[in-house]
Structure 1
Amino acid sequence: MTSIFRTYLLPGLVFQSVIIGGGYGTGREIAEFFLSHGALGGLLGFAATAATWAVILALGFEFARIMKAYDYKTFFVALLGPFWRLFEILYVLIALLVLSVLGSAAGRMVAEAFGISTIAGSLGLLLTIGVLAFFGGSVIARVMAWWSLLLFALYAVFFVWVAISFGDAIASTLEVGQVDGGWLLDGVRYAAYNLVAFAAVLFVLPSLKTRREAILSGALAGAISVIPGVLVFVAMLARYPDIQQQAVPVVFLLQTLNVVWLSILFQVVLFGTFVETGVGIIHAINERIAAAMTASGRAFPHWARFVLAIVFLATAIFLAEAIGIIDLIAGGYGILSYAFIAIVVAPLLTIGLFKIAVAKEKQTEEHRVSCNQ
C-alpha cells in the first residue's frame, strides 16, 4: 500500500467496513434512524452523523497517535483512567448486539435467496468471520480495503439503477421536503453507537506520524463512511413509506427492481460486508487480549483467535434467533447509543481534547528549549 493510501484513506475504509454491516448494510438501521424523519429530515440527520464522526474520529486518531494507543484497552486507560472497563463492558454488549443483527440479516437473506433455513446463512457467516479472524491484522486490513472499494462501486451501480427505474418516485418524495422532529438527536445517536467501529480501526493507525495526518485522516473517515449510507437512503425513498416496515429493506428494494444478476451480486457483496463488520469487531477483542498476554510475557496463538470468534458469534446467533432483527435494532441500538455518548463522545471532547492540547504545549516547549541550546 502506498503511504498516502495507508495514511489518509485506509483508516476511513476500515472504519466504514466495520460499521456498514451493523450500520446500514441491511437498510433496517436507516429506516429506524433516518427514514422515520422524512426525506429532508433524513438527509439532515446524515449531515449530523457525518459531522459527529469527522470531529470524534479526528480527535480520536490524534489521541491514539500521541498516546501510542493502538488497542482499545491502552486507548481507554489513557482516556478514562480506572474507569476504562466501562468501555470494555459497553463494547462487549454492542459487539454481541451488532453480531446478532448480522446473524439475523444473513439468515434472512440466505433463506429468501435459496429457500433454506435461516440458520444456514448465520452459520456460514460465523465460519467465514472465524477464518478471517484466525489470519490476523494484515490480512484483515487488505480484505477490508479491497472489499470496501468493491462495495463503493456496487453501491454506485445500485443507486444509479434505482434512480433510473424509480427516479420520479424519489424526486416526488424529495420535493415534499418532509422534516419530522428529532433528526439531529437521531443523527448523533446513530453516529455514537457506530463508534464501536473506532476500537476496530485502531490497529491501522500506527502509520499516522503527525497531527495534521491524524486530524485529516479522521475527518476523511467521517466523510468516506457516510457516503454509502446516503446512497442507500435516497434509493429507499423510491418505496417510501412502505419500505419502513421491511425487516431487510435493501433486499426488498432489490426484489422490486427485478434484475436477477444485480440482486445476486449485491447480496453476495452485502454478505461480505456482514463479514467485514463481524471480523472488525472480533479482531478488536483479539487485539486487546493479545496485548494483555504480551504484557504478561505470553503469546496469543492463532487458534485462540478462531475459537474466540466462534464463541462470540454462536452467542450472537442465538440472540438473533430468539429476538429478531427489528426488535434488536429498535431496542438495543437506541439504548446503547446514549451509553456511547457518555463513555466515548463526552470524554473525548473534554479529557481527550485537554490531553491533546497539553501534549502540543509540551512538544512546543521542548522544541523551544532545543532551539535555544
Structure 2
Amino acid sequence: MRTHIVIFWTAAAFLACSAPPNWVRAQAPQSPTPPSREGVVTVDTVARGLEHPWGLAFLPDGRMLVTERPGRLRLVDRQGRLSEPLAGVPPVLGTSQGGLLDVVLDPRFADNRLVYFSYAEPGEKGTAGTAVARGRLADNRLEDVQVVYRQQPKVKGPIHFGSRLVFARDGTLFVTQGDRYDYREQAQDLSSGIGKIVRIHPDGAVPRDNPFVGRDSARPEIWSYGHRNVQAAALHPETGQLWTVEHGARGGDELNHPEAGKNYGWPVITYGVDYDGTKIGEGTAKAGMEQPVYYWDPVIAPSGMTFYTGDVFPAWKGSVLIGSLKPGLLVRLTLKDGTVAQEERYLAQLRERIRDVRQGPDGLLYLLTDSDDGRILRISPAKS
C-alpha cells in the first residue's frame, strides 16, 4: 500500500528570556499548533497484522525483530512476512501499558547473536516492574535467556514502564524507566529505581564510574533521575550523548539529554498540569533541577526516536525524528548548537499512533503503528 502525504507542520522555536539568572528556561514552540506548509513523503506498508507492536530492530541480513506488547517477538522478512512468535521470551505483564516492549541488538551481534529486550515483569501479589533480559537468537527461538536488570521496587499498577534501551559508545546499556504513575514521588528518591534512567554493563553489572556508586541510600545503577515516563531515547551521532523524550501529564512532554547524576525535576517541576487541571509540584523551575531542551504543550505523546544519519533525506541529516501517539505524527526537530531551531510535523492524515521510529540500513525510515492491527511503515521521499 502506498500513500502520498502532502501536509506537514513547521514551527520555529525560541528561547524565552524571562528566566532567573542561574538557569535557562526551556524552549517551546512559538504557537500551540505549529502552522502548516506543503511537503511530500511516500508511505508504504511493509507488514501488518502485528498486535500493538512496540519496538523494532534491524538484523544485519535486513530482516527485522519486532516486539508485540502481549508478549510476542517476531521476525519480519524483507517481503513483510511475519514469523511465528519466537520461543524463549519470559512471561510478561501484558495488560494496559505493560508487556514486551523495546528490543535492541548487542553491538557485537555479528559475533555473539545476543538480543536485548525490555518488558513488564510480573511480581508477587499483583506487582510488576521494568526488566531487561538478553538471549541468543537462533532460527526460531531465543536461547540462554537471562534477566540482566530488574527495577526495584516492583509495585502495583499497569502503566508508565518507560523501557527504551540504548547502547552507549562505550558498550554500556541505558535503560529508561517510568514513574509507574501512582508512585511519581519516588522519581526523586535515589533509593528507588522508579522514574530513573539507569546505566549498566551488558551482563547487568554496574559501571564503576556511574554517578551514585558508593553513595549511601542510592542505587548505583542510576544515571539520572526525576523522569516521568521516557519512551523515546537515542544517541546523538556526533557527540555520543544520550537524548530522550518523555511524556508529560497534560502538557509538558520534554526533550532532554540526560547527564550523569542530574535531576530532571519530575514531579517537583513540570510544564504540564495534572489531568484534572490541578497544579503539579512547585512550578516550572527550581535550583538544582534541569530544564528540558524543549517541551510541548499540548502534548505529542512521544514514543520512539532516532537521529537521522542517512543520505536519502539530505535536508534531514542530523535531525531528531520522534513518533507521536497523540495526535499521531512523525515529528522532526532541527537542532542548532544544542537547541531546537525548527519543528516539523508529518503524517497527520494517517491518523495512526506512531510507537517507534527507526532508520533502516537503506537510509529510509521505518515506523511502528500501535493498534490491534499494527503496521510497519516505510517512509521515503515522494517520487516526482
TM-score (ref. length: structure 2): 0.24
More strand by share: 2
TM-score (ref. length: structure 1): 0.24
Larger radius of gyration: 1
Identify the structure with bigger relative contact order (alpha carbons < 8 Å, sequence gap 6+).
Answer: 1
More helix by share: 1
